[in-house]
Amino acid sequence: MFKKILIANRGEIACRVIKTAKKMGIATVAVYSEADRDSRHVELADEAVCIGPAASKESYLAMEKIIAACQATGAQAVHPGYGFLSENAEFARRLEEAGIVFIGPKHHAIAAMGDKIASKKLANAAKVNCIPGHNEAIDTPEQAVTIAKGIGYPVMIKASAGGGGKGLRVAYSDKEAHEGFASCKTEALNAFGDDRVFIEKFVEEPRHIEIQVLGDAHGNTVYLHERECSIQRRHQKVIEEAPSPFLDEATRKAMGEQAVALAKAVQYQSAGTVEFVVGKDKSFYFLEMNTRLQVEHPVTELITGIDLVEWMIRVAAGDTLSFTQDEIKMNGWAMECRINVEDPFRGFLPSTGRLVKYLPPPEVTGVRVDTGVYEGGEISMFYDSMIAKLIVHAPTRGEAILRMREALNEFVIRGVSSNIAFQAALMQHPRFVSGDFNTGLIAEEYPKGFDASCVPHDDPMILVVVAAAIHGRFLHKNAAITGQMPGHEYHPSNDYVVLFNGARYPVTVHPEHGGWIITAADKTYAIRSKWQPGDLLAHGTLNGQAMCMQVERVGLNYRLFHWGVQADLQVMSARAADLMALMPISVAPDMSKFLLSPMPGLLTQVAVAAGQEVKAGEILAKIEAMKMENILKAERDCVVEKVLVQAGESLAVDQIIIAFK
């Protein structure tokens, strides 16, 4: 076994690898960029080496610097994590040539699976299902019908040069194939000047399901069941779970055996993932193989009890798998939510800055948090937006969903925006809860994006009575202040009005030992909690049921976060509420004559100058943050009055970039 390994990565995955290495008694070396000098993975490792500036290509992607760090520290092996150099065949080969073990598959396997054409040929040779199709140009409608019948309906007729939905038809019959072929050719010629058309099988209501495989250097290869990864936004996974709520045992076995066959075809030695697209009829077809550890590997670990990082290290050191296929069991249900620093209410734009508060849920039974950040740390604009993974495990899928909802309630992030509200909305969406979804769920259910109206609360009265209870706690704390003038002591009332979503809710609050009895809307609620002003989390029970809610005082408002809903409520006397209704409403200033930065980031380009006339749709500026470029365009014809910042400057959200006349 290795005595020392180097982790060629950063963030949560570097911390994750260090955790297992320490469990195995292996010393660890972290590498870091100048932007990551104070990062958590640097602190956790036994040694740390700075390998360059913030830009990835000058640090985490610089092979020669990582190899030099291995040689300087005596690291015998390198774990690449995911992303960066994890699927780079040249990196694996160069390590091998330097006498350093790559904790992953051999370079020839990475190269074979990284080439889309070569991987499909290998998959076909290994008798793995590939999407049926005719990839040569088709000349006549009759030929199109013959090919479509051979593939089996429905089929997709596609223009070779197609894009943006042009030159694409789905056919369910001979008649539709004949007509669709002619339409596609005409449309393709007009749109692209190229009328070549081909046909492939159309997978209806597709799901993205992947099989985890594990192989050693002694010819043993197994599959560790599947992961359901169909909840995606713009092809990025959002929620993953294991097992899939869709597969039956026969399909699971067939997919697993084909994944193993492909892994054996490339002499795969490590953990890897074979990805499939699965149709509504449970037909499945090979997409690609990821020759690395996946972001979502924890859900597999929780249902199998197998530490994938440990076995990657053991296999790289030459160990033989200590279990057979028959010994791999499936225990319960696991789910993972990716916690990203992005603002779901502003089009999921990245959010960077100081992590003022970071309080993940406690890692009690069935709850796991993999993270690479800490409270007070800086979220950099240079790297990926994912800062943590929240993983839960329970006996059933329904219990896993409930456990995840409660864990999301307890996940406190302040200073930067996060996608927790979006994750909570998905956790209570009827289609997700039923398991009846595919890769189109988010696009179909949130076609206009995500806003507060997308997160309806199951029972808004819960928010009303909790706001009333914490207001009562504030006032009774005030009443307990010593030194009050005799005869003029403060005695709080028990009757209030809660203002919420434009409605008034009269409530009566009676303090009890350890809680409150609240009457609202002709119902009585019993709340038990030790919450005190200043606490961010209110743990307790509501009518005997466990409850956790995030609580903040923001001006006159009590801001509550529960089940993905962020609600601002005001609690006051009936007279104060009457007067509040008479207050004028402040109007937001007109910012239409300014171009504002939609996110914090690096201004990479200003495409206009003072005095320039600009037409609607023309590029004004470009901002880069977290591997994402945002192009800002003019919404209407205008004239530039002044450019207030220059390319190369770091911008805050809503900072003015350009003023217009």
Q: How confident is the model at residue 597 (pLDDT cuts 50, 70, 90)?
A: very high
Of 200, 227, 197, 198, residue with least CA distance to 211: 227
* Contact present, 605 and 645 (Cβ < 8 Å): no
**Residue 126 scores a pLDDT above 80:** yes
**Predicted structure pTM score:** 0.86
* Contact present, 371 and 355 (Cβ < 8 Å): no
Burial 624-658 (b: 16+ CB within 10 A, else e): bbbebebebebeeebebeebebeeeeebebebbbb
SS3 of residue 346 by DSSP: helix
**Residue 23 scores a pLDDT above 90:** yes
71 vs 27, 93, 302, 317, CA distance in Å? 15, 16, 36, 18
288 is catalytic: yes
Where would I find the H helices in 306-372?
308-316
Enter the tokens of residue 167.
């030159």
pLDDT in tens, 281-331: 999 999 889 999 999 999 999 999 999 999 999 999 999 999 999 999 999
Portion of the chain with pLDDT greater than 70, in percent: 99
Residue 525: predicted pLDDT: 95
Q: Report, as an integer, the average pLDDT of 584-595.
A: 88
Domains of the chain (ranges; CATH) run 4-103 (3.40.50.20), 105-131+206-331 (3.30.470.20), 133-201 (3.30.1490.20), 332-456 (3.30.470.20), 475-580 (3.30.700.30), 594-660 (2.40.50.100)
Residue 1: predicted pLDDT: 96
CA dist 402 and 557 (Å) reads 29
Residue 476: predicted pLDDT: 83
Portion of the chain with pLDDT greater than 90, in percent: 75
Provide the mean pLDDT of the chain: 93
**Residue 455 scores a pLDDT above 80:** no
Query: What is the number of other CB atoms lying within 10 angstroms of the CB of residue 511?
Result: 15
Residue 195: predicted pLDDT: 87
What stretches of 206-267 adopt beta strand conformation (E)?
207-215, 221-233, 236-242
pLDDT in tens, 403-437: 999 999 999 999 999 999 999 999 999 999 999 99
SS3 of residue 550 by DSSP: strand
Question: How far out from the chain centre does Cα 442 lie?
Answer: 13
Mapping DSSP onto H, E and C, the string for 290-305 reads: ECCCCCCHHHHHHHHC
Residue 251: predicted pLDDT: 97
Q: How confident is the model at residue 641 (pLDDT cuts 50, 70, 90)?
A: very high
CA dist 123 and 226 (Å) reads 18
Q: Report, as an integer, the average pLDDT of 246-250.
A: 96
* Contact present, 655 and 596 (Cβ < 8 Å): yes
Q: Which tops the pLDDT comparison, 450 or 222?
A: 222
* Contact present, 288 and 266 (Cβ < 8 Å): no
Options 58, 205, 275, 288, the catalytic residue: 288
138-141: which pairs have CB atoms within 8 A and are 24 or more residues apart? 138/181, 138/197, 138/198, 138/199, 140/181, 141/177, 141/178, 141/179, 141/181, 141/182
Q: Report, as an integer, the average pLDDT of 251-277.
A: 97
What are φ and ψ of residue 227, in 5° steps?
-130, 135
Residue 621: predicted pLDDT: 94
Q: Report, as an integer, the average pLDDT of 637-658.
A: 93
Residue 162: predicted pLDDT: 66
**Residue 453 scores a pLDDT above 80:** no
Q: How confident is the model at residue 163 (pLDDT cuts 50, 70, 90)?
A: low
Radius of gyration (C-alpha) of the chain in whole angstroms: 29
**Residue 166 scores a pLDDT above 80:** no
Residue 136: predicted pLDDT: 79
Where would I find the H helices in 480-509?
none
Any residues with CB less than 8 A from the CB of 349 and at least 6 apart, and which?
A: 342, 343, 598, 599, 625, 630
Q: Report, as an integer, the average pLDDT of 122-148.
A: 90
CA dist 206 and 216 (Å) reads 32
Residue 347: predicted pLDDT: 87
pLDDT in tens, 542-562: 999 999 999 999 988 999 999
**Residue 490 scores a pLDDT above 70:** yes
Q: Report, as an integer, the average pLDDT of 12-21.
A: 98
* Contact present, 178 and 145 (Cβ < 8 Å): yes
Q: How far apart are the first and last CA of the chain?
A: 69
Residue 521: predicted pLDDT: 87
Residue 660: predicted pLDDT: 94
pLDDT in tens, 521-542: 889 999 999 999 889 999 999 9
pLDDT in tens, 602-634: 999 999 999 999 999 999 999 988 767 788 999
Enter the tokens of residue 128.
């793995």
Query: What is the number of other CB atoms lying within 10 angstroms of the CB of residue 307?
Result: 16
Q: How confident is the model at residue 165 (pLDDT cuts 50, 70, 90)?
A: low
Q: Which tops the pLDDT comparison, 213 or 592?
A: 213
**Residue 190 scores a pLDDT above 90:** no
Residues pairing with 223 in the sheet = 213
Query: What is the number of other CB atoms lying within 10 angstroms of the CB of residue 534?
Result: 8
CA atoms within 13 A on the CB side of 183: 16
Sheet containing strand 656-660, edge to edge, reads 594-596, 656-660, 638-643, 613-614
pLDDT in tens, 349-407: 888 889 999 999 999 999 999 999 999 999 988 888 999 999 999 999 999 999 999 99
**Residue 192 scores a pLDDT above 80:** no
